[in-house]
Structure 1
Amino acid sequence: MADTTPLASLSLTHVHYDPNDPLSYFCAWLALVPQGLCVVYATLIWSTREIEILMMFGGQMACEALNFALKRILKEERPKQMHGKGYGMPSSHAQFVAFFSLSLTLFLLFRHVPKKPTPSHTPLSVPARVGLSGLALANAGLVSWSRIYLSYHTPKQVLVGVAAGTFSAVSWFLLTAVVRQIGLLEWILDQYPTRLFRMRDLVVEEDLCQAGWEKWESKRISKYTNGKKHR
């Protein structure tokens, strides 16, 4: 007898769009930005072991939990022309990218205090940090707008999502500032689990590739100097 068990669809990357509309196709790709950012988070946490990035990811997950709760409290349906499932208020995409972009902006403009330039390192300038912040915020705007264009959300649902993401980002930034100020973060970094995974807190004063670059430059210069001596 044939198996008649109904199958479910894993809708993590399942996006409805108009195949005859290039802009709709572009918006469908924008819908994958949160998933892409999660990959970026995981890659950076594993490769750099920076506690600041781990804390930002923790805030991102708390923001997602807030969205999950709000949707089930408000229980507002999506636009009628949308065939998707689940509640629409607030937009999880808009909330996700609002948190990420604003958290990155707050870090670059207020927490990141790079060291003075050295022969082997030129830190990000203030204009560069402002430019990166602008790109992040513009990306958040595009993703949020795409949810309306694809009819996944109403403008109100997107605006509430942006507001919730903004509130979460500011609240988390202030909370982590207090954690740093009272010495709790330093205590956490001294504990066995964090030392086992070699967690560190350097990105607040240097870029992600600084430590490895200085080591490489030192090795390169030493090799060049030794080579000249043996000539």
Structure 2
Amino acid sequence: MSAQGSTKAEPNGDPGRPQKELSTGLWLLKHTQGIVTTATAIGILHLRTSHVIYFTVGTLATSFTAKGLKRVIKQPRPPGSKVKKTSGMPSTHSSTISFMGTYILLSSLLLPLHPSLHLGSGAAARDNMAHIWIALVGVVAPVLVMWSRVQLGVHTPAQTLVGAALGVVKACLWFTAWNGTQVVFGTSPTIGDATSASVARNGLRTIIGARVDPLIAQTEARVLGAIGR
């Protein structure tokens, strides 16, 4: 008679196969949501700008859009998946991380580094290297998360690809809305109304950022002043 032993969940979630422990990398990717949420919170506290808040709102909006589409499409997850409460199309993780990655990539390519990220005076080469590393994170992170969702058996490749497409499109639109067509395309739109043309050309940053950033600075000064008393 063979001895019975406990087993760990295999990435594909198939109960018919011998189960094994997740690798460290796959375990980390499985908990992407918590890691990304923590990183975003740190980013908000560190940068303290209206732009990073706008980016966070876009990330949440992308997640909610993906969840809403799941309720409409109702495509099941792969056979053997342990996730039963929600449908699989599109992958919310893939949508969210692709939005974040694409937005970060566009920011790295088209915008200057935030002052708090500069590496000191005379460090143009190091700033350029920082741009490259940030851009790589924007490309590699979505690919790894999409791969992990398939390996964990919670999504099909098609579900992750559709999720990624949603995130990329949403990020491009969201980025353009904030920064304007002048930054993204180098051109101004042909709109009859002067106010609408100005907003489209210069982006929401000229409206929201100009009003919110001073409020953030004032709030920060008050908090630091209260702490210092």
TM-score, structure 1 as length reference: 0.68
CA gap 1:188/1:22 in 2 versus in 1, 3 angstroms = closer
For 1:173 and 1:183, the matched residues in 2 are separated by: 9
Matched, 1:110 2:110: yes
* Residue equivalent to 2:46: 47
Deviations, residues 193-223 of structure 1 (Å, cap 9, x unaligned): 6533328xxxxxxxxxxxxxxxxxxxxxxxx
* Residue equivalent to 1:146: 148
- Any stretches of 5+ residues in structure 1 without a counterpart? 1-15, 200-231
| Amino acid corresponding to residue 177 of structure 1 in structure 2 | N
* Residue equivalent to 1:198: 217
For 1:148 and 1:51, the matched residues in 2 are separated by: 35
Conservation of the 8 A alpha-carbon contact between 1:60 and 1:100: yes
Q: How does 1:78-93 map to 2 (within 5 A)?
A: 78-85=77-84, 86-93=86-93
Post-superposition shift, 1:151? 0.6
For 1:166 and 1:118, the matched residues in 2 are separated by: 30
Conservation of the 8 A alpha-carbon contact between 2:178 and 2:204: no
| Amino acid corresponding to residue 111 of structure 1 in structure 2 | L
Worse-matched range after superposition: 29-38 or 92-101: 29-38
Conservation of the 8 A alpha-carbon contact between 2:178 and 2:203: no
* Residue equivalent to 1:122: 123
* Residue equivalent to 1:177: 179
Worse-matched range after superposition: 84-93 or 178-187: 178-187
| Amino acid corresponding to residue 122 of structure 1 in structure 2 | A
Post-superposition shift, 1:91? 0.7
Conservation of the 8 A alpha-carbon contact between 1:17 and 1:28: no
Q: How does 1:161-172 map to 2 (within 5 A)?
A: 161-172=163-174
Percentage of matched positions with identical amino acids: 25
Matched, 1:188 2:208: yes
Post-superposition shift, 1:131? 3.0
Post-superposition shift, 1:89? 0.5
For 1:78 and 1:142, the matched residues in 2 are separated by: 19
- Report the count of equivalent residues: 182
CA gap 1:103/1:190 in 2 versus in 1, 3 angstroms = closer
CA gap 1:151/1:196 in 2 versus in 1, 3 angstroms = same
| Amino acid corresponding to residue 39 of structure 2 in structure 1 | V
For 1:81 and 1:183, the matched residues in 2 are separated by: 46
| Amino acid corresponding to residue 123 of structure 2 in structure 1 | T
Conservation of the 8 A alpha-carbon contact between 1:31 and 1:147: yes
Post-superposition shift, 1:142? 1.0
Q: How does 1:187-226 map to 2 (within 5 A)?
A: 187-191=207-211, 195-198=214-217
Deviations, residues 59-91 of structure 1 (Å, cap 9, x unaligned): 111111210111111111101111112111011
Post-superposition shift, 1:55? 1.4
Post-superposition shift, 1:32? 1.6
TM-score, structure 2 as length reference: 0.68
* Residue equivalent to 1:137: 139
CA gap 1:111/1:190 in 2 versus in 1, 3 angstroms = closer
SS in 2 for 1:36: helix
* Residue equivalent to 1:70: 69
Conservation of the 8 A alpha-carbon contact between 2:10 and 2:152: yes
CA gap 1:113/1:39 in 2 versus in 1, 3 angstroms = closer
- Any stretches of 5+ residues in structure 2 without a counterpart? 1-8, 12-18, 181-198, 219-229
Worse-matched range after superposition: 173-182 or 92-101: 173-182
